[in-house]
Structures are given as structure tokens and as C-alpha cells.
Chains A and B, each alone.
Chain A
């Protein structure tokens, strides 16, 4: 009788472990071994992922001279925050892939225009070299297009880019990778609530 119960317990325990493993989302990538020195909209140094460890991250990629699709991505990140019942420690991050124009000051103004110039929103930029490496690491592709020179010497250019929002867990692991402008916010919220 005792042996039978023990066998049953072991079986149930194994099934439980199997179900936990099956129900957990497998990590798509792990950023815990990287270190990128970035700047936030206030010009303060931010280390990714160290400074965010312990908090889930909803991270989008934008450049501020893109009013259509990047505004869409920015708004989607904002909507996740607005619509989730309890954001807890979650941080909502937008990283530019156009550091040449998107200085901390520019990002601060952009954040203000979208009424996101407050916690838990973070807008990040950095040196061109660091941003390039960062974008490679998170698989965001960019390519300059549509360049135009103005009479005053200023140059206007647009960038073809990946359309992405990432969901990164408390242990700096990439859990989900969404089409940034296309994915319904409810899906991101549902996934975020599982973390």
C-alpha cells in the first residue's frame, strides 16, 4: 500500500513538473551575459540589462523622425501600460536606432509629446557604435533610405527598420518577439501577465 502511494506520488510529481515545463514559455534568447552602456532621456547612463534586472520589460524600437509606424509602436507600448490591470515592476522602454539625431534631449521632447515623460517609461539612446551593437544583439535591422539635402545644409533621411516589440522577463531573457505595430495590445498584456 505504502509503495503504491509512493509510486503514485512520484508519478504525480513528474506530471506536475512536466506540466510546469510545458506551460512555461521557453526563452528565445538570453541577454544576461551582455552589457550595453546607454543613455536615458535625462542623459543618465543606463546599463542594459543590469539596471533592469528583476523587472519585466516591454521594449520597442523607434526613431523619432518616423511619425507613422514608430508612433504606432510608441503608442502600443503606452497602451500596454494603460490597459494592464497591474503593471507591477514592469518597465516600458523605447530604444532609438537613430542615435545621430535622437539625443537624450530629442527623446525627452518626444516622450513629452506622447505624454510618456514619466515612470515607468524609459527612452534610450547611446553612441552610434553601442547602438549598432545593441540592435544587432536584439536582431533589429535598419537600413537608411530616402535621403534629402536642404538649402540650409541639413539632411533629412528615413530608415527602413524592423517592426518590433520585445517582452523580456525579470531574468533578462527574451520571452516573446512581436510585430511592434501589428500585434494587438491584448496579446502582449496576456503574455506579460504570465511572467
Chain B
């Protein structure tokens, strides 16, 4: 009977490993939450008072359905929006408000420099290296989520 115990442990480990859902975004691999939305690796660019900043993160949607970002706010900024940088061609870059705040089910949406980002405008405090900034996100499905993003100038 005792000789079956190690086999039983092995079976449990294999079952657990196969149940965890992994999702790849770029070169990184993420384990999706069982349900709802989880935000990982949030960080913010430095910014000056009355200026702007950007927050980057990975949004992991573990639910089966697409979730929609309804609202953004931060105690550090007067105005917060979801923006995207886009290539206008011929070496020109532009930035605009994203018209697709959608996060598909069972997948990861990565906000990275040069792409999708949370835009902080009308900063009421300077965001310097080493500080932290709070961000509140409201999703239609997952509800309100708060994250704290460290400020750093490096990627």
C-alpha cells in the first residue's frame, strides 16, 4: 500500500499542473486567475506637477467572457484615460484615446511602452523615481480593482 503513496503524490502534482491555465504575452508567461481579473507588474513613468504620466501593466482575465474597462481614476491625477500610441507611418508617432477597452476572456492584455497605456493627466503631484502611484480601474464584470504602481524611468 505504502508504495502507492509516491505515485499518488505524482498524480496530484500532474493534475494540478495540467489544471493551471497558462497564457503567454510576448516572452512572458502568466498563470491566469481562476476567475475575474488580476493585474500584475504595474509601473508608472515619472511625471511633473500639472504634467502627465503613463502606467503600464499586464491585465489577466481568467473568466470566460470579455470584460470591459468602464472607468479609470487616480488620486494623483485630474484626468485618467486609456490611450494607445500608434505609428502614423514615415517615422511619425501619434497618441490617441483607445476605443477598444476590451479584455478578452482567458487571455492577457499587456500594456507596454509604445502601445496601450493608462494616461495620467493633470498630475497634482510630481511622480519621481521610487515613489508609488495608486490607480483604480472599474470593469463591467470584475468590478473595481485598485493597483499601486511604482514609478521608474527604466523599462
Within 8 A of A (CB), among B78-128: 79, 83, 85, 88, 91-97, 113-114, 117, 119-121, 126-128
Q: Verify B155–A66 contact, CB threshold 8 A.
A: no
- Shortest CB–CB separation between residue B127 and chain A, in angstroms? 7
- Shortest CB–CB separation between residue B90 and chain A, in angstroms? 8
- Shortest CB–CB separation between residue B116 and chain A, in angstroms? 9
What's the interface size class on B, roughly? 20 to 34
Chain A residues with CB under 8 A of B83 = 68
Chain A residues with CB under 8 A of B54 = 67-68, 71
| A-B CB proximity, top 8 nearest | A113-B46, A109-B48, A160-B94, A67-B54, A67-B52, A71-B45, A163-B93, A68-B85
If A71-B54, A109-B126 touch, does A179 touch B91 (CB 8 Å cutoff)? yes
Residue-wise, chain A 52-88 has the 8 Å CB interface mask toward B (1 for contact) of: 0000000000001111110110110011000000000
Q: Verify B153–A65 contact, CB threshold 8 A.
A: no
Q: How many residues of A contact B (CB 8 A)?
A: 33
Q: Verify B51–A109 contact, CB threshold 8 A.
A: yes
Please report B residues at the A interface, Cβ cutoff 8 Å: 45-49, 51-54, 79, 83, 85, 88, 91-97, 113-114, 117, 119-121, 126-129, 153-155
Q: Verify A181–B53 contact, CB threshold 8 A.
A: no
User: Does A149 reach chain B (CB closer than 8 Å)?
Assistant: no
**With A and B bound together, what is the CA distance between A64 and B126 in angstroms?**
13
Q: Which residue of B lies closest to A114 (CB)?
A: B153
User: Does A97 reach chain B (CB closer than 8 Å)?
Assistant: no
From the candidates B49, B51, B85, B113, name the one contacting A65 in the complex (CB within 8 A). B51
Q: Give 16 pairs: A residue, B residue, CB < 8 Å, sorted on A.
A: A64-B52, A65-B51, A67-B47, A68-B54, A69-B93, A75-B155, A113-B126, A114-B153, A115-B153, A156-B121, A158-B94, A160-B88, A160-B93, A162-B91, A162-B92, A181-B114
